[in-house]
Amino acid sequence: MPIDPEVLRQWPIAEVEHSYTVRDTMLYALGLGYGADPMDDKQLQFVYEGRLQALPSMAVVLGYPGFWISNPGTGADWKKVLHGEQAIEIFKPLPTAATVIGRSRVTGLFDKGKDKGAVLVSERDVIDKSSGDVICRLTSTTMLRGDGGFGGPSGPLPAPHPLPDRVPDQTVSIATLPQAALIYRLSGDYNPLHADPAVARSGGFEKPILHGLCTFGVVCRALLDAICGNDPSKLRKMQVRFSAPVFPGETIVTELWKETGGVVSFRAKVKQRDLVVINNGRAEVAA
């Protein structure tokens, strides 16, 4: 049965008040594999309270409204949902501990056809409760692989960011942990697709896959290390297109191109399968 597009477009995503501590900030970083070398000061600053900084990519777990698309009222086939694209814009450095308000909304719904599914676009503002300042804004697209054919418009959707046609300026390899998805989910995304083998198989995967946003965070690690001197305040914007899932334990290789005006283009591959998993990446970095 097709989804009701008007119901989904107007779905009332609950506002979230989210208090987090330095422990949560460290747990998020551990989920991305920081601390694999406990003697590395560049990693320690994200997992040790003595010099703790919050990663810009942690924005994706702040004020998170949960896996609301799995509510039966949405009509969506939640077992066939995949993250399509993700962007963050950082307006001020993320605190290592705070109470924030997450305000999310559906901003678009597009029909790609019965056999191709639908695309849902949403935004979330993360607001510092104490000051009322917007810390960051997140934009994401969600692929509803089982819900196309409802008769809605097929666009317009933004064109993907083009990558340079030359050899990358730099490459960064980061190995993920076999248990990475089980750690990362403790930051708030409890979709069983990433933990339960039976659910993964019912969704068409041989085993649980890594959260797309965990892959996003690992690539953010690469950007910070290669471009920002591991100073999280320098990363202002980051947007990606997810092109294939990662299995926990695989190595993510990020290829980067430095362009003018503080813009960095990038993509990421899985080393073991020589497969592009994040494509058309674009970041903006402060001087």
The catalytic residue positions are 189, 194, 209, 212
Is residue 86 within 8 Å of residue 212, measured between CB atoms? yes
The closest alpha carbon to 136, from 186, 102, 170, 185, belongs to 102
Tokens describing residue 73: 């009222």
Helix (H) or strand (E) holding 237: strand 235-242
DSSP bridge pairs for 175: 251
Q: What is the DSSP string of 86-148?
A: EEEEESSPPPSSEEEEEEEEEEEEEE--TTT-EEEEEEEEEEETTT--EEEEEEEEEEETT--
Residues 6+ apart with CB under 8 A from 129: 17, 98, 99, 100, 101
The number of helix segments (H) and strand segments (E) in the chain equals: 6, 10
- What is the spatial distance between Cα 205 and Cα 164, in angstroms, rounded to a whole number? 32
The closest alpha carbon to 264, from 226, 232, 216, 230, belongs to 226
